[in-house]
Amino acid sequence: MDDITSFEQIIGSQNIITAEQDKIGYLEDWRGNFTGSAQAVLLPRSTEHVSQILAHADAQNQIIVTQGGNTGLVGGGIPDKSGNAFILSTARMNTVRDISEVNLSMTAEAGCILEQIHTITEAKNLYFPLNLAAKGSCTIGGNLATNAGGLNVVRYGTTRNLCLGIEVVLMGGRVMNLLTPLRKDNTGYDLKDLFIGSEGTLGIITAASLKLFPLPTVRSTALAGVRDIDAAVELLGALQKKSGEKVEAFEIMPGILLDIVSKQFPNIPMPLSPMPEFMVLMEIASTNDEDGQPDSEGAIPLTALMEQFLADNFETGLVTDAVIAQNETQRKQLWDIREHSPEATKQESWPVNTDISVTRADFAAFYKDATIEVKSVYPDARICGYGHLGDGNVHFNVLEREGGDPNWPEKREAVKHAIYNALSKVNGSISAEHGIGQMKVEQLKEVKDPVALEVMHQIKQSLDPKGLLNPGKILG
Ligand SMILES: Cc1cc2nc3c(=O)[nH]c(=O)nc-3n(C[C@H](O)[C@H](O)[C@H](O)COP(=O)(O)OP(=O)(O)OC[C@H]3O[C@@H](n4cnc5c(N)ncnc54)[C@H](O)[C@@H]3O)c2cc1C
């Protein structure tokens, strides 16, 4: 019996895609940087299905590449071009198994779309704070497998910090049940954390127990022009101090990025004119009803706090211009600018994309140094570093000169080298939140501690000795 027939017996022929035209969407990554080939796409509906698939794959030496929403940015979910692999998509494992308002936790299957989790929790006045622009397509399994970061890390941490437990299927088919809703569990090694961020190379996450929080009842969102990049960093510390634990998001965006968003998405309004060189998009939020209750003059305390903060820092010179969202529509318009940034830059160009993290103390120095380094090799570069300043995470992206450059494909390597040269001076990370995938395999070998790399290989060898789970990713 061939493998496709065997898989059909396990999950049913209606849950397998073999037609070439139907496989296309699974074979290229979101940026179009990586393409691959596969024998078929398997769409299991249960943990039992995944277990039987991995038992068969192990017995027959079949390669399995797991895929969630295929929004990853490092080619982690894309098989190689040989056509040997089977893609296992978790798309049909999308049930929320339970949700506890008392324990502030939920259990969701790996294929649940992040936005679906938001909708379900918010209907119960609960909050799952992981939030990224790909929320309409990415899955919680993919978020865990990449340890996704996103917009709210500054307050709630990465996906790892939001996970209480996981269910994972190992190569060979054993199901490891670590699906606890407990907040404390010191029973030996924390195996859950081994699989979070392992990008489908150690096992397949089939479900997760997630931490929930009370849903904020009031938010204040502002876009502020800042004097320079140092001022942006200073402003973050000042806002955290002023608002207590209320800073949910703090994003840096250069004016050049907003010009590109405006060009590619002319319907998104740009609130500040003239366009500052640097802006921060910041949001504070509270679950305390009093912060949202209008006072006798109709002022909402949380909004008043933001207004006062911006006014004070206009005086200090850190802020040069600002707008505060007055309602949900205006808030959405401000977030639209940030959330359309990846798509806008993709449409505008073929940028050199990075996903860098540095300490907050090094952030401004790194940004300036990387700018100088890039300009020294490519003076016309459009430097478009934006992202999660709250976490020291900048997508320091570089576009070719305005109007296009036929030599850009050859210039990209020098530009990349210049950025990573600046990064090495401050001991930053080459991957803050997107992972290694196939994009950064060689780079990882250069920057990771050799002993750590050796231990990673040993772990891979012990869990997947034949190298059938997502080969070529992370360790190569
Ligand atoms: C517009 C846009 C904005 C983005 N913004 C952010 C951001 O702010 N922060 C951020 O961190 N990322 C961001 N990303 C990247 C991406 O959305 C995240 O990496 C996301 O977590 C991937 O989820 P996914 O379901 O699409 O996973 P996929 O792309 O399908 O897979 C990603 C990796 O996880 C593995 N995998 C998937 N599911 C499982 C599973 N169940 N078990 C084991 N392995 C699995 C795959 O093999 C692959 O290696 C963005 C992407 C886009 C397109």
Report the residue among 65, 70, 71, 90 best suited for mutation to probe ligand 1: largest number of ligand atoms under 8 A from its CB.
Answer: 71
Q: Mean of the per-residue pLDDT values for the chain?
A: 97
Query: What local confidence, expressed as pLDDT, does residue 245 receive?
Result: 83
| Residues 114 and 62 occupy one common structural domain | no
Q: Is residue 368 part of a domain?
A: yes
| Residues 129 and 188 occupy one common structural domain | yes
Give tens-digit pLDDT for 14-37: 999 999 999 999 999 999 999 999
Ligand 1 atom closest to the Cα of residue 195 is 43
Question: Which pTM value belongs to this model?
Answer: 0.97
| Residues 298 and 378 occupy one common structural domain | no
Residue where a domain terminates, one of 302, 321, 341: 341
Whichever domain contains 67, its CATH number is 3.30.43.10
Query: Is 163:140 a contact under the CB 8 Å cutoff?
Result: no
Range list of H helices, 340-407: 341-348, 360-377
Tell whether the torsion through CA atoms of 300, 301, 304 and 309 is positive or negative.
negative
Question: Which element (helix H / strand E) includes 9?
Answer: helix 3-11
Give tens-digit pLDDT for 380-395: 999 999 999 999 999 9
| Residues 308 and 252 occupy one common structural domain | yes
Q: Is 351 helix (H, G, I), strand (E, B) or coil?
A: coil
| Residues 247 and 326 occupy one common structural domain | yes
Whichever domain contains 382, its CATH number is 3.30.70.2740
| Residues 336 and 355 occupy one common structural domain | no
Give tens-digit pLDDT for 236-245: 999 999 998 8
Query: What local confidence, expressed as pLDDT, does residue 218 receive?
Result: 97
Query: In terms of C-beta density within 10 A (0-12 exposed, 13-18 middle, 19 or more buried), how is residue 299 classed?
Result: exposed
Percent of the chain with pLDDT over 90: 99
Strands 86-89 and 64-67: parallel
| Residues 308 and 203 occupy one common structural domain | no
| Residues 45 and 154 occupy one common structural domain | no
Peptide bond into 216 cis (omega under 30): no
| Residues 192 and 121 occupy one common structural domain | yes
Whichever domain contains 182, its CATH number is 3.30.465.10
Strands 86-89 and 40-42: parallel
Query: Is 380:425 a contact under the CB 8 Å cutoff?
Result: no
Average pLDDT, stretch 343-354?
Answer: 96
| Residues 195 and 266 occupy one common structural domain | no
| Nearest of 351, 368, 339 to residue 281 by alpha carbon | 339
Query: In terms of C-beta density within 10 A (0-12 exposed, 13-18 middle, 19 or more buried), how is residue 27 classed?
Result: buried
Whether 61 has a pLDDT exceeding 80, the answer reads yes
Give tens-digit pLDDT for 89-122: 999 999 999 999 999 999 999 999 999 999 999 9
Residues in the chain, total = 476
Number of structural domains in the chain: 4
Q: Residue 317 is part of which domain span?
A: 218-341
Q: Is residue 240 part of a domain?
A: yes
Q: Is residue 432 part of a domain?
A: no
Query: What local confidence, expressed as pLDDT, does residue 205 receive?
Result: 98
Ligand 1 atom closest to the Cα of residue 432 is 11
Query: What local confidence, expressed as pLDDT, does residue 1 receive?
Result: 74
| Residues 333 and 222 occupy one common structural domain | yes
Residue where a domain terminates, one of 214, 232, 259: 214
Residue where a domain terminates, one of 89, 122, 137: 89
Tell the residue nearest (CA) to atom 21 of ligand 1.
143
Q: Is residue 444 part of a domain?
A: no
Ligand 1 site residues, Cβ closer than 6 angstroms: 30, 65-73, 76-77, 90, 110, 132-134, 138-139, 141-143, 145-146, 148-150, 199-200, 204-205, 342, 433-434, 437, 470, 473
Q: Is residue 462 part of a domain?
A: no
| Residues 203 and 248 occupy one common structural domain | no
Whichever domain contains 315, its CATH number is 3.30.70.2190
Q: Is residue 303 part of a domain?
A: yes
